[in-house]
Amino acid sequence: MKENVSNKNTKPRVIISGGGTGGHIFPAISIANAIRELRPQAEILFVGAEGRMEMQRVPDAGYRIIGLPVAGFDRQHLWKNFAVILKLLRSQWKARKIIRGFRPQVAVGVGGYASGPTLKTASMMGIPTLIQEQNSYAGVTNKLLAKKASRICVAYDGMERFFPADRIVQTGNPVRQALLTDSTNREEAAKFFGFDANKKTVLVIGGSLGARTINQTLMAGLPLIKAHPDVQFIWQTGKIYIDQVKEAITTFTGEPVRSSRVSSLPNLYVTDFIKHMDCAYALADLVISRAGAGSISELCLLGKPCILVPSPNVAEDHQTKNALALVEKHAALCVKDAEAKDCLLNVALEALADNEKLAELRNNISRLARPNAARDIAEEVLKLIDNR
């Protein structure tokens, strides 16, 4: 039986570092919330990257955050990395100052630019560290940090390929807690989007920043969408692509897009960011998504049939490995990024028409869910404090 860490009387001080995308930020906030549930008196400080989305999302969730001037390496133009190295050195110096001032008892890294210098500095200063590796293929930074890490929380089998086996704990990936607590039904969700609850619906998401290939595929596929009025599409473009998408819709329909709907495409809802993901998931019969670890964890938890389109622009091609881990268990379909424009929408429409296939995907992906991931990671964090 697990230790009831909530009965401890200590006042934990925890740094949580990382971010860059919603796939890192939302799990980090879920871990923080779980720590607070177990130890309401806990002091939690986030460390992120200046100018990245965590600098807004974390305060919105009620936590303090400090930014580091860190940036990612340009793998294609190595000569540009001199400035990146200087930022990294400045970030390590600032991280040391932050750690001295806050005096954390443990530092948690969730991935993203800031986690590297923060956890490396914490480890050098004798602070226990915990890494949360979301993907089925570990990144370079986490493989380096793992050498000194006290605990490594993972979501996939076989991670001893990358990390010391005696420090691995399989917890799964945390998801947005609202998805666990909200109970929107299909009728309410359909009303929110102005759709028909009796029609099948495809949810298209490309992450918080958007996915170029997926957006280009949907823009090119507007005639196909119009030709299938019995299928509804909820399309999240990401903020980078929303203007380009609206222009494409205007060109196709001859009707300006002043809101999320156009009268000549009544089966299409388009937006840059879906605030009420509970409604979107409740209505979706099929989800088209990138294969980021956070997105996959949400789809597993909610039991949603999905087509994964792995991004080719990620380190070690880890999204393809994430997707194949599900495909091998008949828990998802996968379309290569390079093939998406030619076949993605047709694959989606074929899957949507095959109720037996949808049921198979739904059942198999549900078996992979880890609904208690955030709490399990929080318990590991608190054990590191209590065992010091």
pLDDT tens digits, residue range 97-154? 999 999 999 999 998 888 999 999 999 999 999 999 988 888 888 899 999 999 999 9
The C-alpha atoms of residue 29 and residue 377 are separated, in whole angstroms, by: 12
Q: Longest Cα pair distance anywhere in the chain, in angstroms? A: 66
pLDDT greater than 70 at residue 10 = no
What's the rounded mean pLDDT across residues 275-299? 92
- 45 bridge partner residues: 15, 64
Q: Phi/psi class of residue 225: alpha, beta or left (left: φ > 0; alpha: ψ in -120 to 50)?
A: alpha
Q: Phi/psi class of residue 97: alpha, beta or left (left: φ > 0; alpha: ψ in -120 to 50)?
A: alpha
Q: For residue 5, what pLDDT band results from cuts at 50, 70 and 90?
A: very low
Note whether 318 and 134 are within 8 A (CB).
no
pLDDT at res. 74: 63
What's the rounded mean pLDDT across residues 361-368? 96
Alpha helices, DSSP H only, in the chain? 22-38, 54-60, 81-102, 115-124, 140-145, 178-181, 186-193, 212-220, 222-226, 242-253, 277-283, 293-302, 318-327, 340-352, 355-366, 373-386
Share of the chain above pLDDT 90, in %: 71
Tokens of 185: 């039904």
State the Cα angle at 236 between 230 and 238, rounded to 5°: 160
What's the rounded mean pLDDT across residues 278-305? 93
pLDDT in tens, 303-352: 999 999 999 887 778 899 999 999 999 999 999 999 999 999 999 999 99
Tokens of 96: 């040391």
Note whether 233 and 204 are within 8 A (CB).
yes
pLDDT at res. 60: 94
What's the rounded mean pLDDT across residues 351-356? 97
The C-alpha atoms of residue 71 and residue 87 are separated, in whole angstroms, by: 7
Neighbours of 178 (CB within 10 A): 12
Averaged pLDDT of the chain: 90
pLDDT at res. 73: 65
pLDDT in tens, 59-113: 999 999 999 998 776 666 666 677 778 888 999 999 999 999 999 999 999 988 8
List Cα–Cα distances, 361 to 286, 349, 370, in angstroms.
Answer: 10, 15, 17
pLDDT in tens, 187-226: 999 999 999 999 999 999 976 666 899 999 999 999 999 9
pLDDT at res. 8: 55
For tokens 């930014």, name the residue. 67
- 334 bridge partner residues: 308
Residue 362 CA to chain centroid, in angstroms?
Answer: 20
pTM of this prediction? 0.80
pLDDT at res. 79: 65
